[in-house]
Amino acid sequence: MSLKYHKIFTHDHINARELSEVYMSDSSDHGRLFIMLELPKHKLDQQAYIDQLINEIATYFDTSGQDDPEILLEEILQQINQLLPEMAASIKIRNWINTLDLAVGIIYNNNTYMASIGNVNGLLIHNKQITTIMAKNTEINPSKAFSDIISGELDDGDGLIISTNSLFDYISKEKVKQIIKKYSPSAAAIKINELLESVPDFVTFNSIIIKKPGTSDREIHPHEIKKPIDLEDEVVTDTIKTEADHSPTAPRTKTVIDVGGFKNIGLAKKIGQLFALIALYFKTIGSIFTFVGKKIKNSLLFLFSPKFRKKKEEKTIDNINIITHKKYFWFQNLNTKKKIAVVVLFVIILIFLQSLVFLTQEKADDDKNEHYNNTLITINTKYKEVDAKLIYDDEEAAEKLLLEIQTLILELTASSPNQEEQIAKLSETVFHKINKIRHIYVVPSPVKLFDMSTSLVSTQDIVQKDGIFYIFGDNKLYQIKDNLLEEIFNFTGEQVIQSMTDWPDKNKVVLSSLNANNEINYIIFDLEKKEITGDLKQAINNTSVKDLTVYGNNLYVLDNQNNQIFKYPESGGGFANGQPWVKEEIDTSQTSSLTIDGSVYIITNNGNIKNLLKGVSEEFDYHTPRPNIGAGAIIKTFRDSDYLYIIDPNNNRVIILDKEGNIKDQYASQKFDDLKDLAIDPDEKAIYLLNNQHLYLLAINE
């Protein structure tokens, strides 16, 4: 069964803020042409140009001998690319092409071919999903407005809506999807128009609904219609069919105050211009008074202050004497010919250097801007390819394209503040899109608990006890209590602290240090007394510390150089000598962190998580996140927790796994740009993230 279509066109020519047109050609051997156009009203009447644009496109379509609709649309777009700059030059409205919202397409059999510029949306309704295949595109190259074509075949029950942005300002995309999925195009148009009954007259709606009929499509009977509407509905075939015109949409007469419309009132414009001139006048007067006041002040000081006058005179005379003596006497000693030669040479060199600098700078700027613009075009092209991949649920290919876009953005070099702002927006957009495909929740602005940038250069570890945070950094221990940062101990001397961990059952922390002889020592620090209360030298075979943790009042140390985990049992106020805990050969050389809840979990630099119980490997089949966890990840849990908490600095990410290996949640943020460590709220309602000099709070979804 062929495609059906219906248009939604509500436009009050008198009150509308825009000029708008929608055109559908008769059916032909190469399909049916549609044109959707909208642009803001202006003092200059643009209707003639709109009519010219539509007529030339339609004429080319009707007279073309090209049978392939996709090639035909490419030829039409080439014609438009030539026509728009010519029109822009004639209209003489600044950035006229950038104000234009234009969609052009061809419907042929079960296929649709289309392209757009400006604020035009294209949504594909497939199964129970809605996919954006055309989106807002305000970065328009005036010399080549159209560059890409989107095409595809609709399956039974699939729908497509092409619309200007105003429709989605009043009806959500989800609601539009439900209507198009349920009804035929004509019935869907009726339903959508019913929802738009109370919208002010100055708002224009310009949309086309295209659908391949499904067996469950509903029609609307005349007695169900709340509002008269144009019931034109066609089956798109290869032969011309007669169109049935019915009563037009009833005019909407709801009284609405259009605040934005005041800008079109001549008196209001004149009053605005008057106030602007008055403001400019007072600003100019202020500048003049400031300048004159400064000059009067200096003049009075010069007249009545001998000290000021003498200082000014001496400075001026000294400068003049220095310049005069150096230049005059050197030049004066030359003979006439040499003087002339020096003057001529100096002038020639000055002109040459000035020209060379100007040309070089101009060429460099042109090359840089050309590269910048070409990269933006490439990025937009790849975004359209991403949309095409997502139509068919090919997330892997779409992710690959988005990573290519991210690389292109990182390679961009800004030559102006506007370009810097644009690059920042591009980076934020691609970051959101990549993580959306990876099913990672993006946290735009995580809650910042504390900024330590004025006190610390770098941080390493965090421990949280009873609402107090203990931060280790710059070889010092700090605490954050009552929203105040306080240094509580400075580990001076030759020892350098490597790592710090919590002693859960006591108000203490344990730190590992390395002295000048590369000897490891374990320090027990009492947080209440704010002093070192004990230390312990390492076991003979324990020669390195990658990570450490305390569980059941025993200290466990990850020694990745010796492929071993050492256990130091509690003894008195400290720990006894350590013994190897792992009972089989395992490779921990690439391990970055460990945590314990009865079992020992270790994580490696390639993202692998291993589970050890009583020194022996246990099977742990977990769902591998996408992308893989990067190097330097840190993993934490505790005895009664059902989850493993992981920070992944390489991917600006936090991962929560249940202990069956399923992913509970993933969070990412551009703010997570230097993750160091994490602490978990005892009730597991929040994660505290140490992002170098900043402490963030991340709420956990229940």
Q: What is the pLDDT of residues 377-419, one digit of tens each?
A: 999 999 999 998 888 889 889 989 999 999 999 998 888 889 8
Predicted TM-score (pTM) of the model is 0.51
Read off the pLDDT of each residue in 598-615 and give the average, rounded to a whole number. 92
Which of 5-9, 333-337, 404-408, 682-686 has the lowest average pLDDT? 333-337
Supply the pLDDT for residue 239. 33
Classify 362 as helix, strand or coil: helix
Supply the pLDDT for residue 654. 96
- Check the CA dihedral 318-324-329-330 and report its sign: positive
DSSP 458: -
pLDDT tens for each residue of 540-588: 788 899 999 999 999 999 998 899 999 999 988 889 888 999 999 888 8
Answer whether residue 15 shows pLDDT above 90.
no
Supply the pLDDT for residue 446. 93
Question: What tokens appear for 284 in the block?
Answer: 């100019």
Question: What tokens appear for 408 in the block?
Answer: 């292109």
Answer whether residue 137 shows pLDDT above 90.
no
Q: What is the CATH number of domain 4-260?
A: 3.60.40.10
Answer whether residue 608 shows pLDDT above 90.
yes
Read off the pLDDT of each residue in 84-111 and give the average, rounded to a whole number. 86
DSSP codes joined into one string, 644-701? EEEEEGGGTEEEEEETTS-EEEEEE-TT-SS--EEEE-TTSSEEEEEETTEEEEEEPP
Supply the pLDDT for residue 37. 92
CB atoms inside a 10 Å sphere around CB 6:
25
Distances (CA, A) of 136 to 97, 115, 161: 14, 12, 14
CB atoms inside a 10 Å sphere around CB 70:
13
Read off the pLDDT of each residue in 597-602 and give the average, rounded to a whole number. 93
Beta bridge partners of 644: 657
Task: Band the pLDDT of 465: cuts 50, 70, 90.
Answer: very high
Bridge pairing between strands 653-658 and 120-126: unpaired
Classify 447 as helix, strand or coil: strand
What percent of the chain clears pLDDT 90, i.e. is strictly above it? 37
Task: Band the pLDDT of 198: cuts 50, 70, 90.
Answer: confident
Read off the pLDDT of each residue in 626-638 and give the average, rounded to a whole number. 93
Scanning the structure block, which residue is given the tokens 């279509």? 5
Task: Band the pLDDT of 252: cuts 50, 70, 90.
Answer: very low
Q: Which of 321-335, 346-360, 663-677 has the highest mean pLDDT?
A: 663-677
Answer whether residue 305 shows pLDDT above 50.
yes
Supply the pLDDT for residue 330. 64
CATH 1.10.3720.10 assigned to domain 459-663? The reply is no
Amino acid in the structure at residue 19: L
Bridge pairing between strands 111-117 and 496-503: unpaired
Higher pLDDT, 553 or 308: 553
8 A C-beta contact, residue 102 and residue 118 = yes
Task: Band the pLDDT of 161: cuts 50, 70, 90.
Answer: very high
Supply the pLDDT for residue 201. 84
Supply the pLDDT for residue 134. 82
Whole-number Å distance between alpha carbons of 181 and 155 = 12
Answer whether residue 538 shows pLDDT above 90.
no
Which of 93-107, 262-276, 567-581, 671-685 has the lowest average pLDDT? 262-276
Supply the pLDDT for residue 233. 43
Average confidence score pLDDT of the chain? 85
Strands (DSSP E) contained in 212-317 are 234-235
Closest CA to 430 of 395, 397, 402, 399: 402
Supply the pLDDT for residue 554. 94
CB atoms inside a 10 Å sphere around CB 430:
23
Supply the pLDDT for residue 228. 47
Answer whether residue 202 shows pLDDT above 70.
yes
Residue 540 CA, distance from chain mean position: 52
Question: What tokens appear for 4 in the block?
Answer: 């059906």
pLDDT tens for each residue of 212-232: 888 888 888 776 776 544 444
Read off the pLDDT of each residue in 109-114 and give the average, rounded to a whole number. 90
Question: What tokens appear for 18 in the block?
Answer: 């825009």
Answer whether residue 88 shows pLDDT above 90.
no
8 A C-beta contact, residue 407 and residue 399 = no
DSSP 619: -
Classify 329 as helix, strand or coil: helix
Question: What tokens appear for 249 in the block?
Answer: 């949409």
Supply the pLDDT for residue 331. 63
Answer whether residue 234 shows pLDDT above 60.
no
DSSP element (H, E) containing 267: helix 266-304
pLDDT tens for each residue of 316-352: 777 776 666 666 556 666 677 777 887 888 888 888 8
Classify 511 as helix, strand or coil: strand
Supply the pLDDT for residue 263. 52
